Chains A and B, each alone.
Chain A
Amino acid sequence: MTKRLLTAALLLSVSALPAFAAKTSLVVGMPIEPPGLDPTIAAPVAIREVTWANLYEGLVRIDRAGKVQPLLAKSWEVAPDGLTYTFRLQEGVKFHDGSAFDSADVKFAFDRARDPKSTNAQKQIFAPIASIETPDPATVVIKLKETSGNFLYYLGWGDAVIVAPETAASNAANPVGTGPFKFKSWTRGDRVELAKNPDYWQKDKVKLESVTFRFISDAQAQVAALKAGDVDAFPNLGAPELFAEFQKDARFKAVAGNTEGETVAGLNSAKKPFDDVRVRRALMHAVDRKALIEGAYSGFGQPIGSFFSPNNPAFVDTTNVIPYDVEKAKALLKEAGYGNGLSITIKSPQMAYASRSAELLSAMMAEVGVDLKIIPTEFPAKWIEEVFKNKDYDVTIVSHTEPLDIDIFARDSYYFNYKNEKFKALVAEAAKTTDEKARFAKYAEAQRILAEDVPALFLFQLPKLGVWNAKVQGLWENSPIPSNDVTEVSWSE
């Protein structure tokens, strides 16, 4: 009797399970916990890495190749003058609180972002907007004051996601969007949990039932968590020296891709001797980018000669404009009147990539007779105060993670103190150019100007060292926009 019962129970339990059920939950590790979950009121990358495309959606999205794709707007027309954008919206889309999404929400979200009181970190996205009209619930007409070549692209950013008027104010703690996942819980200091949105308008694309983001700052702990299976994926591993180990391990997929982070050693162009372009070029000639990347990031990371991400279709390789050449560096320094040596300082943040790069730079500079002294500077607080706001520095080093941010070299009060009217005009023109080919040509030209002028030592693109369980499919290899988009992620089998 017992035996028969057992058999029956066994049969029942077996038949209750679908054959070869694939896993439907995913644990993603991140080094930094986001401060709040609203990408429209704060800048940190970590906010986007949890929320963008998972919780919130914009009119358009950036895909894994860095291209603009329709999302909440299923299509759009741009008037021939380039000033009027007419968006046709997806219908039947609902916010996570059950309320319907329509053109009024788009108007609300953008008006909120461009309001004088708004604290949107990328307000310039909305600066060209003259008016927003909503002729019907499924149509939005945006009129611009001036043409903007990157307008659609910017609308794909986290700063331009659509939020609802009823919930916008509390999104930082209790996010409500239209995305494939709903916010479930946030154990601050530890994890954010998301659950599949059953009413999602593209339900068929979503395979996962739940996603957990865990925050583990220590690099060794990240590796331990991956090996123990506590975490399924670490899209940005903090331990480059241990990455090669994962590349050899068949249980894991380890992919070295690119981020949008240009790592540059800013030079204070308003200060002697950096006001002399010969000195700036000499310092660039003194840098062996390959050796630097080897030492600072275990050889991962692409060398850059200007300030543009290799992920961007308008990227041109400018690393040969001022190549590694010790003799030339010495000659240029002599010409500039520093043949007997030069003593300068570098304010270096505590992040491993920055402090290691600073040490290597110091050694490389010594080769050409430049004494580069390192001053450790706490990031972000002290660095923002001293370097960014007060511009009290000689050389500094930091990675700029915003996509398409070459215009920072065109800003008057930016910390580089770089002034080049030709460059400024060119970048402004590029931003207004709606024809893609013409715009890309202008960006290429702008990249070359920076490469020759060296307002900063252009070092390397911060790599994205992704490690995940070999059975996890669909994670991004590069991040053309800061994100951990898990919409189409699934487990094999």
Chain B
Amino acid sequence: MLRLVFSRLVSLAVTLVFVSLAIFLILEVLPGDPAAIMLGTAAREDTLAALRQELGLDQPALLRYLQWIGGILQGDLGTSITYKMPVSTLVAERMNVTFPLSLLAILISTALALPLGVAAAARRDGPVDRAVLVFSQLGVAVPNFWIGLLFILFFSTWLGWFPAGGFPGWSNGVGPALQALLLPAVALALPQAAVLTRVTRSATLEVIGADFVRTARAKGVDRGATLRRHVVPNALIPVTTILGLQLSFFFGGAILVENVFNLPGLGRLAYQALNQRDLVVIKDIVLIFSGLVIVVNFLVDIGYAILDPRLRSRS
């Protein structure tokens, strides 16, 4: 087990280095001069040069890369070009929105998908199964930002039950904050729930057809108990894999959904920073997103080992 953790940690570190290089190189070739964007179309050449120098953009690329990575290793994410404040503070503020939003979406998605998937598999081709298939087909086909727009039209503009966007902040109470996050979380969760439902259903079906399940039933274990004790725990392994992979979709989806709902989260910060070519902020956020995905996958790998004793001994 320790050896498994160690080897996974090494590959995690190597991946992070490659990701950081890729981010840096992509931003190098991306057109757009942050200085020209800040100073507008009337600025003179000497003013632009002064700002480029102030931002350190006149230094060689390798040096800038090393400064960036060096800073991160010391816990310094740098200073935003546009906001003129530490990126760590900005990210921390925005995490207050994106983290609860993603968490809420994951909870909703899992809470929908697991029971639906298992129920569909338990009575294959029954009415529940058919309904679940239709739901999951729709959920996969419809993009989350469009669901978001429909939600705003229906629940906010029409019924007036929810705010049409924006975030009151946690300081104004948990209730209003959760109310502002609920619609976007559902919009974010539905497409992922659809995928997860399908995976749960097929994983469950596969296990139901296995020999040991038939043996258990033959021994006289009733249907429900077989499902609970033998089928679901075994079906959870592929489901965990997908859930881990989906986390990256939750973060990616947050960019769209936060923009539709005007939420001040990390996703919108990334979008704004990209528009303004706030290179410092973009680099950090993309690295944080990738880092989170990599770490989650690491945890999923470890999670397997715990769920499946065979993986533990094999390593």
Contact = CB atoms under 8 A, between A and B. Distances in A.
Contacts of A190: 166-167, 169, 264
B156 interface: yes
A160 to B, nearest CB: 14
Interface residues of A, number: 47
B87 to A, nearest CB: 11
Interface in A8-62: 33, 35-36, 38, 41-44
Interface stretch (B3-11, B126-134, B182-190, B265-273): B265-273
Q: Select the residue from B31, B40, B156 with max chain A CB neighbours within 10 A.
A: B40
* Interface size class of chain B, counting residues whose CB lies under 8 Å from the partner chain: 35 or more
A384 interface: yes
A124 B277 CA distance: 25
Contact of B44 (A124, A214, A228, A384): A124
A188 B93 contact: yes
A126 B40 CA distance: 17
A172 B82 CA distance: 9
Contacts of A172: 83-85
Interface stretch (B45-53, B114-122, B216-224): B45-53
Interface in B146-182: 152, 156-157, 160, 163-167, 169
Contacts of A337: none
A188 B275 contact: no
B143 interface: no
Contacts of B37: 380-381, 384
Contacts, number: 143
Contact of A123 (B47, B82, B272): B47
B33 A385 contact: yes
A188 B93 CA distance: 8
Nearest to B48: A119
Given A35-B38, A384-B37, A118 B165 contact: no
Nearest to B97: A189
B164 A381 contact: no
Contacts of B164: 221, 224-225, 228
Given A221-B262, A381-B31, A405 B50 contact: no
Interface in A364-419: 380-382, 384-386, 388-389, 398, 400, 402, 405, 408, 413
A120 B166 contact: no
Given A216-B262, A381-B277, A408 B42 contact: yes
A405 B82 CA distance: 24
A224 B167 CA distance: 15
B211 interface: no
A187 interface: yes
Interface string A325-355: 0000000000000000000000000000000
B40 A230 contact: no
A385 B31 contact: yes
Contacts of B31: 381-382, 385-386
Interface in A199-241: 214, 216-218, 220-221, 224-225, 228, 230
Contact of A36 (B41, B84, B152): B84
A388 B85 contact: no
A381 B275 contact: yes
Given A35-B82, A43-B43, A190-B167, A389 B50 contact: no
A405 B260 CA distance: 35
Contact of B163 (A230, A388, A413): A230
A217 B163 CA distance: 15
B39 interface: yes
Contacts of A117: 50, 53-54
B172 to A, nearest CB: 11
B42 A402 contact: yes
B94 interface: yes
Q: Select the residue from B37, B93, B152 with max chain A CB neighbours within 10 A.
A: B37
Contact of B32 (A118, A221, A385): A385
B276 interface: yes
B294 interface: no
B40 A44 contact: yes
Contacts of A228: 160, 163-164
Contacts of B269: 188-189
A120 B260 CA distance: 34
Contacts of B38: 35, 41-44, 119, 121
A100 interface: no
Contacts of A268: none
A190 B261 CA distance: 12
B40 A189 contact: no
Interface in B7-42: 30-33, 36-42
Contact of A119 (B51, B90, B260): B51
Given A36-B82, A121-B43, A121-B47, A214 B166 contact: yes
Contacts of B264: 187-190
A122 interface: yes
Nearest to A43: B40
26 contacts: A35-B278, A36-B83, A36-B84, A42-B39, A43-B41, A118-B47, A119-B51, A119-B54, A121-B43, A123-B43, A123-B44, A123-B47, A187-B93, A187-B169, A188-B83, A189-B263, A190-B169, A218-B260, A220-B152, A224-B165, A228-B163, A380-B275, A384-B33, A385-B31, A400-B41, A402-B41
Interface of A: 33, 35-36, 38, 41-44, 116-124, 172-173, 187-190, 214, 216-218, 220-221, 224-225, 228, 230, 380-382, 384-386, 388-389, 398, 400, 402, 405, 408, 413
The 5 closest A-B pairs by CB, nearest first: A189-B264, A43-B40, A381-B32, A35-B82, A172-B84
Given A123-B44, A225-B164, A408-B42, 10 more contacts: A35-B82, A42-B38, A42-B39, A119-B47, A119-B51, A123-B43, A173-B84, A187-B169, A189-B269, A230-B163
